[in-house]
């Protein structure tokens, strides 16, 4: 398929997995809007690098703090005003903190995780929903996690938040299907260069990799390819699903 006429919005796109997915869609030829919350200089430099590496000049950015409902609404209205359409929304923005859910750890950290990862996703979907439902087309891909399916030690709040994203995906897949809008999720396992394995000591990494059926960590492109598949007409009969990209770990 040709992506030339498609507009893709990726939240949390300033680094790591989000930046990789934005770069992948740009390489396919789509118009890509990078949502960011960090420094303006950082996102401008990333846009320049993506344009240079892909040869695609139709790359832009919008500040989208997913926790700020008014800011989210304003950003999506500006995108629609500028480009006239949004074909794909990738909800990637999220936060995580390590630590067990025990009395000595502050509950505020868990509140932030739950609010950002679940309500942040809902805020973005709400902002784009009228456009997609009216146009009766569109694909929404929520970035979940293996943690939302199996639970992970010292990541209880994060696991709960991603389980919530998976549940949201299932329900919205049914609610939006009659309008021609598909909602799916991708649940990455352990992916290189994303911070996912930072808490695993180097001397334990070899043993950890043995738990993965394929014997190695994934790459950002592995996740990006899965997201692009779910965004494309090749998956036109798939909705409400969570695609696990974990090399057989689960």
**pLDDT per position as a tens digit, 204-242:** 778 878 899 999 999 999 999 999 999 999 999 999 999
Report the candidate in 233, 182, 250, 193 with the shortest Cα–Cα distance to residue 217: 193
Which string of b and e fits 12-48 if b means at least 16 CB within 10 Å? Answer: bbbbbbbbbbbbbbbbbbbbbbbbbbeeeeebeebbe
Determine whether 176 is an active site residue: no
Q: Residue 7 pairs with which residues in a beta bridge?
A: 31
What is the pLDDT at residue 100? 67
Taking all residues of the chain, what is their mean pLDDT, rounded to a whole number? 94
Query: Which tens digits make up the pLDDT trace of 152-163?
Result: 888 899 999 999
Instruction: Pinpoint the alpha helices (H) of the chain.
Output: 16-28, 40-54, 69-83, 107-114, 120-135, 147-150, 156-177, 205-209, 220-231
Q: How far apart are the first and last CA of the chain?
A: 32
Given the structure tokens 């430099």, which residue do they identify?
45
Maximum pairwise Cα distance, the chain: 54
The model carries a pTM of: 0.96
Which candidate, 51, 63, 1, places its Cα nearest to that of 26? Answer: 51
Q: What is the C-alpha to C-alpha distance for residues 84 and 73, in angstroms, rounded to an integer? A: 15
* DSSP conformation class of 191: B
CA distance 76 to 223: 25
Give the pLDDT of residue 51: 98
Looking at residues 141-164, what average pLDDT do you find?
Answer: 93
Averaged pLDDT, 37-50: 95
For the stretch 66-93, pLDDT in tens is: 999 999 999 999 999 999 999 999 999 9
Reported residue count of the chain is 250
Rounded CA separation 48/41 (Å):
11
* Band of pLDDT at residue 177, cut at 50, 70 and 90: very high
- Per residue in 95-137, pLDDT (tens digit) is 987 776 777 777 888 899 999 999 999 999 999 999 999 999 9
Joined together, the tokens standing for residue 118 give 């679940």
The catalytic residue among 36, 61, 158, 190 is 158
Q: Which domains does the chain have, with CATH numbers?
A: 7-193+220-242 (3.40.50.720)
Look up tokens 């021609």; give the residue.
Answer: 180
């Amino acid at each position: 398929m040709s992506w030339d006429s498609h507009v893709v919005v990726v939240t949390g796109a300033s680094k790591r997995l989000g930046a990789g997915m934005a770069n992948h869609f740009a390489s396919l030829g789509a118009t890509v809007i990078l949502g960011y919350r960090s420094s303006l200089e950082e996102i401008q430099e990333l846009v320049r690098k993506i344009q240079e590496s892909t040869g695609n000049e139709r790359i832009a950015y919008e500040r989208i703090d997913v926790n700020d409902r008014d800011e989210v609404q304003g950003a999506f209205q500006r995108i629609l005003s500028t480009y006239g359409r949004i074909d794909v929304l990738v909800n990637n923005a999220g936060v995580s903190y390590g630590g067990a859910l025990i009395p000595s750890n502050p509950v505020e950290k868990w509140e932030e995780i739950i609010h950002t990862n679940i309500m942040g996703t809902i805020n973005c979907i709400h902002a784009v929903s009228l456009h997609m439902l009216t146009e009766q087309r569109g694909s929404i891909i929520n970035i979940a996690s293996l943690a939302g399916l199996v639970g992970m030690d010292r990541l209880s709040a994060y696991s709960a938040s991603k389980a919530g994203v998976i549940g949201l995906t299932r329900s919205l897949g049914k609610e939006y299907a009659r309008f021609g809008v598909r909602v799916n999720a991708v649940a990455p396992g352990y992916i290189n260069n994303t911070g996912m394995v930072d808490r695993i000591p180097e001397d334990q990494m070899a043993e950890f990799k043995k738990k993965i059926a394929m014997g190695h960590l994934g790459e950002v492109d592995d996740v990006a390819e899965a997201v692009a598949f779910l965004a494309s007409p090749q998956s036109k009969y798939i909705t409400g699903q969570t695609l696990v990209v974990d090399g057989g770990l689960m």
